[in-house]
Amino acid sequence: MSALVQIQHVNKSFKDHQVLHDIHFEVTEGEIICILGESGSGKSTLLRIIGGLEDADQGDVTVDDETITGPANNLVPGYDFINFVTQHFKLEQFRTVRDNIYSVISYYAQSDADDRIHELLELCKLSEKAEAYPRELSGGQQQRVAIAMALADEPFLLLMDEPFSNLDVNMKTQIRGEIVEILRKAEVTVIFVSHDPVDAMAIADRVIILEDGHIAQIDTPQKIYQEPTSPYAAKFLGPINYLKVDGKPIGVRPEQIKIHKEGEHEGKVTKCIFMGMHYHVWLTSDIADKTILLYHSSALNIGQAVHFNLMTTEIT
């Protein structure tokens, strides 16, 4: 597969504050990429530069071999083959679902527009809601209308800024699952920004960890989880313990620590909390400066002495 998006050595400052440093990566057609980083790390600025809504100071962005330039070079910033979805998507309240989608492609010949709307309603599982108004829809259904609208004119690239951050926590998993299914079926290339590692792991083919405007790591979620190249990248995808074994510092995920009566290392339980599927257990041990977190299938007593093994590939 060829690279649809190429970002080459992009730098960006606001006054004397450099927010992006030599950003360089490619996105293959059909890939879903998540840009993950702390607040202020430069995620939205990077997304806006890719979409032509912000000027880079240096560097190049191309999408399908077309050079993307920002507002300094375009009277109307943005490109018709790149669509944005944000958490604040706006549906027209006095238009039905069908008419909201139609508003994006009203310049199509009527029969083409009707066919496309039919396809999108099916894809986004909204066929039965075609004549409903936004106020008659659930949050997830409204989100799917926003996605249908973003896909309507068949963009090459979809840019999504924190698309799931406004969702109710209880509904987030389901809605996120529905959206990713739609995006996969549509075979659209997606770059989305999030600060939530679960979004990244549940959706992305590859994750870009942005630290203070620098790319800390780009890889699959699995690889970053198992082999992070820095403590910043490691902590972003989930809790991690830093231990010292044979004089060597290593990072170990909680699920890589197994309590066993003949375990190699010793510890003492300081806290144990029931979490549904398992207990979160905290231990003190000679091999760690801070308490160690692990998951265990049954309750342990505070003060109880335990032995444990590390089932690790090392995370340094």
Residues that bind ligand ATP (CB under 6 A): 14, 19, 37, 39-45, 195
In the bound state with ligand ATP, the residue whose beta carbon lies nearer, of 18 and 284, is: 18
In the bound state with ligand ATP, the residue whose beta carbon lies nearer, of 45 and 285, is: 45
CB of 193 to ligand ATP, least distance (A): 6
* Number of Cβ within a 10 Å radius of residue 184: 13
In the bound state with ligand ATP, the residue whose beta carbon lies nearer, of 37 and 155, is: 37
CB of 160 to ligand ATP, least distance (A): 13
CB of 152 to ligand ATP, least distance (A): 26
In the bound state with ligand ATP, the residue whose beta carbon lies nearer, of 84 and 108, is: 84
CB of 99 to ligand ATP, least distance (A): 32
In the bound state with ligand ATP, the residue whose beta carbon lies nearer, of 120 and 209, is: 209
CB of 34 to ligand ATP, least distance (A): 13
Q: Are strands 3-14 and 17-28 parallel, antiparallel or unpaired?
A: antiparallel
In the bound state with ligand ATP, the residue whose beta carbon lies nearer, of 102 and 192, is: 192
In the bound state with ligand ATP, the residue whose beta carbon lies nearer, of 44 and 141, is: 44
CB of 59 to ligand ATP, least distance (A): 15
Instruction: Give the Cα-Cα-Cα angle 186, 148, 178 (nearest 5 degrees).
Output: 65
CB of 311 to ligand ATP, least distance (A): 34
| Residue reference for tokens 């970002």 | 7
In the bound state with ligand ATP, the residue whose beta carbon lies nearer, of 195 and 307, is: 195
- The answer to whether 269 touches 302, Cβ cutoff 8 Å, is yes
Please give the structure tokens belonging to residue 129: 């809601």
CB of 88 to ligand ATP, least distance (A): 13
